[in-house]
Structure 1
Amino acid sequence: MCDTLVCLPSFSKSGNLIFGKNSDREPMEAQAITHVPRKQPESKELTCTFITIPQVRETFEVILSRPFQMWGAEMGANEFGVVIGNEAVFTNVKFDKSDLGLTGMDLLRLGLERSKTALEAVQVIIQLLEEFGQNACGGYQNKNFYYHNSFLIADPNHAFILDTAGKSWAYRSVEKFGTISNALSIESNYEAASFVIEPRTIQGIFAGQQPNFRKHFSDFVFTTAGRANQRKTCTLTFLEKAQNPSISAFFQGLRQHNREDFSPQKATTGSICMHATGFTNPSDTTGSMVAEIRKGEASTIWLTGSSHPCMSIYIPFFLGAFPTEVVSLLNPSAQEDESFWWKAKKVHALIEKNYTKNQPIWRKTLDQLQENWLEEEIRLIQSEASLDELKSFTSKCLKTYREILNQVIQTEKLG
């Protein structure tokens, strides 16, 4: 389960496009922050998560947040300010598990590496979808987790929602705010669409008629169980109430739970910040991103590099200014290690011993630090800081956060 949202520049507090996503995955699937520079690949082939496809002559610089073992990514941004997040959606199109294709995360990364605008990314993903399909397992330990994908795709000026079902697709522009969750959302209000005849599941007998994309392809059972519409309503209501949302508002929006007396033990699939509880609620938010995409200035990609935004801080990263000296600390493995993701996991476990008492104490510490970072980030952008200055700022933030995590782990004291 995931949630992705965008505010177009004319409606944000800063006048810049703001984009956010929570990536909800299996609880022990660590998420890496990966930087890939612009390249002219020598090989004519590219190995993605499960299949090999033709490579292009040039790929663009990207910053990604991705499950550590996957080639593709849950969310990310490129050097031109294109930013993408995807959602698992459940449809009545059958999977042919003998004919492997690209994962939704592969399509997301390929869209970023090969596009200069949001509309270009839409077209890249559509072309690859039609050629290679998306018959691919999206799970980690759960090898039976297959799903189709919805994408929210933006650049400094525009945003689009792209829904898919098998090799079928539909897309539309976002006019003010846009949100997607784990359900198809485009009905007949698309700018373009393609309905491909493919085998259906038993739920195909209940399918609505074309041209309504959502009704024609939606799987009722999984879409309902995931409470996607409840979460989509929550994120859209948040954006509308914020009126002119800021970066801080997006941080807060992605930390939301669906009840005032929340505790991890009471969590359901209705929360934006997810905490797994078992079979009917199997996902944690394992990574979160908020990006401010600027025209003619450096964009800031804020990433938690850890699970549970309600217990995490957003760290600033910049295209062209990625601190290579900390790469190993941003790339966790399957087992507990020295990475930020696993260190934060230890601190979260300590907080969850008494969440109601401990989380506000920890949140106060992080909020003060977050406010300091936001002020420094604004100062750097307004002063037209060099790439070296931006890189130093990111390194300083990472160093400070690492010291705080280590201190809490050593002392088991949050304040």
Structure 2
Amino acid sequence: MCDTMVALGNVTADGSVLFAKNSDREPNEAHEVIIFPAAEHPQGSVVKCTYIEIPQVRHTYAVMLAKPFWIWGAEMGANEHGVVVGNEAVFTRIPHQKEPGLIGMDFIRLSLERSQNAEEALRCIVDLLEEYGQGGNCGFRHEMYYHNSFILADAREAWVLETAGKFWAAEKVKDIRSISNALTIGETWDLASQGLVEYAIKQGWCQSKSDFHFARCYSDLVYTRFSDARRRQKCSTDLLTIQRGKISEKTMFNVLRAHAGIGEDERRIDRGLTGSEVCMHAGFGPVRGSQSVGSLVSRIAPNGSTHWVTGSSAPCLSIFKPVWIDSGIPDEIIGHPQGTFNEVTLFWKHELLHREVLKNYPERSRVFQVERNKLEDEFLTEEREIRSRSTAERRAFTEACFQKSQKAEEKWLNAVLKVPERKVDLLYGLAWKQFNHEAGWVSPRRSK
């Protein structure tokens, strides 16, 4: 389960396009941030995606990917031309293909490597979709099959693309747009696959073209309902709408951290077998089996793009740090995490803090949030000065932000451990005991 959103320049504070996404995966499905440089490829070569090989293009663009460690593709990412793409799992009436094929994350990487703008990326995805279809397991420890929706953005425009098997519809974004784990396009669209309406009529999902509604006709109502997607989409849309004309990177940070919509009370994260928020926290059972393991906010402008990544779980407990594709990332800090605990990597080092906070979220999370927000504000202020400087200066700034973040989290962990644990819901506690066991997680000790 995930949430993706975009705000065009006509509603943002500085006229840039702002993109944001949480990647919701299994708690031990480590999130990796990695940059691949542009490359030339021999004519006739192939590329091995997560499961299958397809013909490679002669030139691929430089990309930054935020991805599950074991998947070739990515949940979200950007390229050197300022194209940003993120996907959502959607559940439809079209049977899922379980045979290995292209999965949603593969489409993202392929489109970023091969496109110079958002519409090109959309065309790339639908061409590949119509040729190869979509299929294959998308789960880490637990098998999961689904179709995909996407938001694709560049400095000028953004698109929503929603699919059901090989069928698809696309809508050009006008100002603010958010998607979650449900189809959202209705009676109107800007582009669509051939036979989209006719197939629905043939299946008896509608009576005529005038009665056709893409989301209503093609959605699997059971999975869509249990994903709580429509409430989450409303939450993110409402939170962006009230900031219309003032939307900034900080706005996007805050929406990705949202635990409730406007007028809603926050629920305790350790309670409930169903329900989910934009900032998702895992719990007991199949419906609450995933959480926000990584987050991305991208500021896309004609003169360049800055990408703000957490590289870690729970945006409400993480720090957004700036990255530029041409200046690289601090690989020695981020590392290459796997599905078991290894505190040498950024993802798992943050889990030391994250999983300790979960033992008393209401009180332990408050220990450092004010200081975290202040640190991010410093990064945001400095980034406005740094973004136009040389590659070397921007790289040094990125490294400094990652280093400061690590030092801050080490200090916060020690402070958190001084706050007593509290009794959590029994099933929630059992779920996290199992997650920790599977990860080989080692609880930290308070330093003296």
- TM-score, normalising length: structure 1: 0.93
Correspondence 1:333 to 2:332:
no
Q: Which residue of 2 aligns with 1:156?
A: 155
Structure 1 CA distance for aligned equivalents of residues 333 and 131 of structure 2: 35
Q: Which residue of 1 aligns with 2:429?
A: none
Amino acid at match of 1:390: R
Q: Which residue of 2 aligns with 1:120?
A: 120
Q: Which residue of 2 aligns with 1:394?
A: 398
Q: Which residue of 1 aligns with 2:276?
A: 270
Q: Check the 8 A contact 2:276/2:288 in 1, yes or no.
A: no
Give the CA deviation at 1:406.
Answer: 3.3
For these two proteins, the number of residue pairs brought into alignment is: 406
Q: Which residue of 1 aligns with 2:374?
A: 368
Correspondence 1:281 to 2:282:
no
Summarize the Cα distance change of 1:209–1:402 in structure 2 as closer, same or farther, 3 Å threshold: farther
> Which deviates the most, 334-343 or 123-132?
334-343
Q: Check the 8 A contact 2:26/2:290 in 1, yes or no.
A: yes
Give the CA deviation at 1:334.
Answer: 1.5
* TM alignment of 1:186-201, pairs within 5 A: 186-195=185-194
Summarize the Cα distance change of 1:261–1:18 in structure 2 as closer, same or farther, 3 Å threshold: closer
Q: Check the 8 A contact 2:228/2:275 in 1, yes or no.
A: yes
1:297-338 CA-to-partner distances (Å, cap 9, x unmatched) read x31100110010110110100020003x52563421121111
Summarize the Cα distance change of 1:119–1:400 in structure 2 as closer, same or farther, 3 Å threshold: same
Correspondence 1:219 to 2:220:
yes
Q: Which residue of 1 aligns with 2:172?
A: 173
Structure 2 CA distance for aligned equivalents of residues 154 and 15 of structure 1: 14
Amino acid at match of 1:388: A
Structure 1 CA distance for aligned equivalents of residues 65 and 382 of structure 2: 23
Give the CA deviation at 1:196.
Answer: 5.2
Give the CA deviation at 1:14.
Answer: 1.3
Q: Check the 8 A contact 1:361/1:414 in 2, yes or no.
A: no
Give the CA deviation at 1:350.
Answer: 1.5
* TM alignment of 1:177-326, pairs within 5 A: 177-195=176-194, 210=209, 211-244=212-245, 245-258=247-260, 260-266=265-271, 268-279=274-285, 280-296=287-303, 298-323=304-329, 325-326=330-331
* TM alignment of 1:341-380, pairs within 5 A: 341-380=347-386
Give the CA deviation at 1:96.
Answer: 3.3
Q: Check the 8 A contact 1:207/1:218 in 2, yes or no.
A: no
Amino acid at match of 2:60: T
Amino acid at match of 1:102: L
Q: Check the 8 A contact 1:93/1:165 in 2, yes or no.
A: yes
Give the CA deviation at 1:411.
Answer: 6.8
Percentage of matched positions with identical amino acids:
37
Structure 2 CA distance for aligned equivalents of residues 209 and 51 of structure 1: 38
> Which deviates the most, 121-130 or 265-274?
265-274
Structure 1 CA distance for aligned equivalents of residues 80 and 335 of structure 2: 20
Amino acid at match of 2:255: G
Q: Check the 8 A contact 1:163/1:186 in 2, yes or no.
A: yes
Structure 1 CA distance for aligned equivalents of residues 297 and 15 of structure 2: 15
**Any idea what SS the aligned residue of 1:151 has?**
strand
**Any idea what SS the aligned residue of 1:273 has?**
coil
Give the CA deviation at 1:159.
Answer: 0.4
Structure 1 CA distance for aligned equivalents of residues 97 and 297 of structure 2: 35
Give the CA deviation at 1:261.
Answer: 4.3
**Any idea what SS the aligned residue of 2:234 has?**
helix
Give the CA deviation at 1:215.
Answer: 2.0
**Any idea what SS the aligned residue of 2:215 has?**
helix
Summarize the Cα distance change of 1:243–1:412 in structure 2 as closer, same or farther, 3 Å threshold: closer
> Which deviates the most, 262-271 or 332-341?
262-271
Q: Check the 8 A contact 1:5/1:19 in 2, yes or no.
A: yes
Q: Which residue of 1 aligns with 2:59?
A: 58
Amino acid at match of 1:147: Y
Structure 2, unmatched stretches of 5+, are: 420-448
Q: Which residue of 2 aligns with 1:78?
A: 79
- TM-score, normalising length: structure 2: 0.86
Q: Check the 8 A contact 1:208/1:215 in 2, yes or no.
A: no
Summarize the Cα distance change of 1:30–1:208 in structure 2 as closer, same or farther, 3 Å threshold: farther
* TM alignment of 1:16-31, pairs within 5 A: 16-31=16-31
Give the CA deviation at 1:363.
Answer: 1.0
1:53-82 CA-to-partner distances (Å, cap 9, x unmatched) read 000000001111000000010001111110
**Any idea what SS the aligned residue of 1:265 has?**
coil
1:343-399 CA-to-partner distances (Å, cap 9, x unmatched) read 111101121221111112221121111011011001213xx2111111000000111
Summarize the Cα distance change of 1:208–1:106 in structure 2 as closer, same or farther, 3 Å threshold: farther
Q: Check the 8 A contact 1:358/1:414 in 2, yes or no.
A: no
**Any idea what SS the aligned residue of 2:339 has?**
coil
Amino acid at match of 2:251: A
Structure 2 CA distance for aligned equivalents of residues 209 and 215 of structure 1: 13
Q: Check the 8 A contact 2:83/2:118 in 1, yes or no.
A: yes
Structure 2 CA distance for aligned equivalents of residues 336 and 62 of structure 1: 27
Structure 1 CA distance for aligned equivalents of residues 117 and 207 of structure 2: 33
**Any idea what SS the aligned residue of 2:298 has?**
strand
